[in-house]
């Protein structure tokens, strides 16, 4: 079982406030301070500092946080194995494009085993990474950016990132300039989503931002985005697998600049979910990544 003081440390890392950590753990602030001081003596390092009354992690704290989160993962994994359940359960996260349009065949193959069950969370990149750090997921399949100092990953596949419009729109099946683009209404995902972050990064390459579009519509559902685009309410940028999902959609690209992005299987550093990944995706994926 993970040391209770490490658990206190992780709660403090999450909220970065001694008072809030004490409320979450139902103990006093002096007890929190005492436990953090114990860890600082044990590991011979300073874990937190104050600057203008704001709490900050030291480099040592960030390193300890990675190992402590991994320790919680391994402890939970061990408990599951010792329980000797007749049912094998995976807890997986996926961003919305991947969860809704890419994983179906893998889900069917995995659930064809009668002793297999699945918990699948489909959400934006930011929330899935939070769930990974809270040990609520074994791994997540995401298309967004992630901190490679905090997470390890394995390539799942690469996918083109394209513009979509109604099939009768002037942009249909052609290249468009950045100035043409800004005359349109852009329908994009909410803040925190991987596809929005990618779009914003691409616009940054032109020294531009989403603010340059004539109108904005922010939608957290790809189904609603597709419905709006094919009914002429604006354009959007999505992965090709989604663009090909509806006959009323057409694709366009931005100034001869095809965009390729990775779908990655992401997990906590210092953990080893290879066996679980192989259960869901098959061993061939592990062999491909090892080459």
**Going from the N-terminus, what domains does the chain have, and what CATH number goes with each?**
4-65 (1.10.10.10), 79-157+262-290 (3.40.190.10), 159-259 (3.40.190.10)
Q: Which two tokens stand for residue 278?
A: 């192989």
**What's the rounded mean pLDDT across residues 35-57?**
93
Q: Which residue has the higher pLDDT, 220 or 2?
A: 220
Query: Are 139 and 111 in contact, with CB atoms under 8 Å apart?
Result: no
Percent pLDDT > 90 in the chain is: 69
Q: Which two tokens stand for residue 145?
A: 């950016």
Residue 291 has pLDDT above 70, yes or no: no
Within its chain, how far is the Cα of 86 from the centroid? 30
Cα–Cα distance for residue pair 246/226, rounded to 1 Å: 8
What pLDDT, on a 0 to 100 scale, did the predictor assign at position 268?
92
pLDDT tens across 167-210, in order?
999 999 999 999 999 999 999 999 888 889 889 998 998 899 99
4: helix, coil or strand? helix
What pLDDT, on a 0 to 100 scale, did the predictor assign at position 192?
84
Query: For residue 252, what is the enclosing H or E element?
Result: strand 249-254
Query: For residue 104, what is the enclosing H or E element?
Result: helix 104-111
What pLDDT, on a 0 to 100 scale, did the predictor assign at position 256?
67
């Amino acid at each position: 079982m993970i040391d209770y003081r490490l658990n206190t440390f992780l709660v403090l890392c999450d909220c970065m406030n001694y008072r809030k950590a004490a409320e979450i753990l139902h103990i006093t602030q002096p007890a929190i301070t005492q436990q953090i001081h114990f860890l600082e003596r044990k590991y011979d390092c300073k874990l937190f500092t104050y600057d203008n009354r704001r709490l900050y992690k030291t480099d040592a704290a960030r390193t300890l946080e990675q190992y402590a989160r991994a320790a919680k993962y391994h402890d939970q994994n061990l408990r599951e194995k010792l329980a000797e359940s007749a049912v094998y359960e995976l807890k997986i996260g996926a961003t919305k494009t991947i969860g809704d349009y890419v994983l179906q065949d893998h889900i069917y193959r995995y659930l064809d085993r009668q002793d297999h069950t699945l918990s699948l969370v489909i959400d934006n990149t930011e929330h899935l990474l939070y769930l990974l750090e809270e040990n609520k997921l074994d791994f997540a399949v995401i298309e967004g950016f992630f901190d490679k100092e905090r997470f390890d990953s394995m390539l799942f596949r690469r996918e083109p990132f394209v513009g979509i419009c109604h099939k009768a729109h002037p942009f249909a099946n052609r290249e468009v300039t950045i100035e043409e683009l800004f005359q349109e209404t852009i329908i994009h995902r909410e803040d925190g989503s991987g596809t929005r972050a990618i779009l914003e990064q691409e616009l940054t390459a032109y020294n531009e931002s989403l603010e340059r579009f004539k109108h904005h519509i922010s939608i957290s559902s790809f189904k609603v985005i597709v419905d709006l685009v094919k009914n002429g309410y604006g354009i959007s940028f999505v992965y090709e697998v989604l663009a090909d999902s509806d006959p009323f959609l057409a694709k366009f690209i931005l100034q001869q600049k095809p965009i390729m992005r990775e779908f990655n299987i992401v997990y906590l550093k210092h953990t080893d979910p290879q066996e679980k990944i192989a259960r869901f995706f098959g061993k061939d994926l592990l062999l491909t990544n090892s080459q």
